[in-house]
Structure 1
Amino acid sequence: MSHRHSIGREIATIARYLGLILDSRLAHLGLGGLGAATIPILTFLYENEGASQDDVAESLQFNKSSAARAVARLEKDGYLTRAVDPNNRRRNILRTTKKARLAKDEILQILKGLTDDVYADFSEADIEQYFHLTQIISARVVQMLRETK
């Protein structure tokens, strides 16, 4: 396989550049620099307020240390609170703050705008084909990972 057909290289490049663009678009909210890690946590909590830190990490497929760093950053920046679960003292319950809830619509609009910008030159059929193929690839790499364990 030639270097120009390296799936890992293409995915890594896309992810890196999207992360840089997202960081730039979120900078005015104080979320630049860690957008790739923090934004999925915020958007997850918008839909799952009061989820545990472990549930967030598992649902987003983050390792626990990466999730902990991102949660600490969001807490430091005033976007979420972390409290010990009274029913299980080893778990932290996460809740968005007023600051996070006030920024929700803008964050979601930034994410939608980024997606719209990426797909600006694509037809609906192109977008559907892209998602179909990436779902196949995703399922395959998940299977491959399971086979390595």
Structure 2
Amino acid sequence: MVIKTYGGFLISQIKQLQGRVFERMLKESGIDAFNGAQGRILYVLWEKEKLTISEIGHLTSLAKTSLTSMLDRMEESGLVERRADQNNRRQIIISITDKARNYKEEYDRVSLEMNELFYKRFSEEEIEQFEEMLRRLIQNLEE
């Protein structure tokens, strides 16, 4: 007997809802220079300062094709800079600009607010169990 499951569908629905709510929260807080997906790119760059496109793709799970067009728009709006790697001219390094750094504090505040909404009515133990299960799902998909 096969059990009917809804995990993939529910995760997809959560992703869509979370994206819309987060976009609205960013706009309401005055952050309109980038969208949620671009915020994921900035988030990893706020942590690391400079990364290759491949590294950004790995850390954000964004496909290289979408990533390239997003980085184009982010570069045009002055949020990131592209430079050839000094050691390997074929490798492009993406770095964060001062303009993007100025958004970090407000973005962190909105992220914290989103996190509180996300885990409302969850105990700490439930949060830990839930996140461990999500890590296992990711591991299953990466194998």
Is TM more than 0.5 here? yes
Which structure: greater helix fraction? 1
Residue in 1 aligned with 2:84?
84
Measured against aligned partners, the alpha-carbon deviations of 1:97-135 in whole angstroms (never above 9, x if no partner) come to 111111101111111110111112111111111112212
Report the identity percentage: 27
Change in CA separation of 1:132 and 1:58 when aligned onto 2, cut-off 3 Å? closer
Aligned length: 139
Moved over 6 A (4+): none
| 1:29 corresponds to which of 28, 31, 53 | 31
- Superposition RMSD on alpha carbons, in Å? 1.7
Inter-partner Cα distance in structure 2 for 1:54 and 1:140: 21
Inter-partner Cα distance in structure 2 for 1:122 and 1:31: 32
Inter-partner Cα distance in structure 2 for 1:14 and 1:51: 29
Inter-partner Cα distance in structure 2 for 1:104 and 1:15: 22
Q: Are positions 1:99 and 2:99 aligned together? A: yes
Q: Trace 1:1-16 onto structure 2 (pairs within 5 A).
A: 1-2=3-4, 5-16=5-16
Inter-partner Cα distance in structure 1 for 2:67 and 2:50: 15
Structure 2: tracts of 5 or more residues without a match: none
Higher RCO (CA < 8 A, seq sep 6+) = 2
Q: Trace 1:53-68 onto structure 2 (pairs within 5 A).
A: 53-68=53-68
Q: Trace 1:44-55 onto structure 2 (pairs within 5 A).
A: 44-55=44-55
Q: Alignment partner of 1:30: what SS?
A: coil
Inter-partner Cα distance in structure 2 for 1:57 and 1:139: 17
Whether the aligned pair in 2 keeps the contact of 1:80 and 1:95 (CA below 8 Å) is yes
Q: TM-score, normalised by structure 1?
A: 0.83
Whether the aligned pair in 2 keeps the contact of 1:79 and 1:97 (CA below 8 Å) is yes
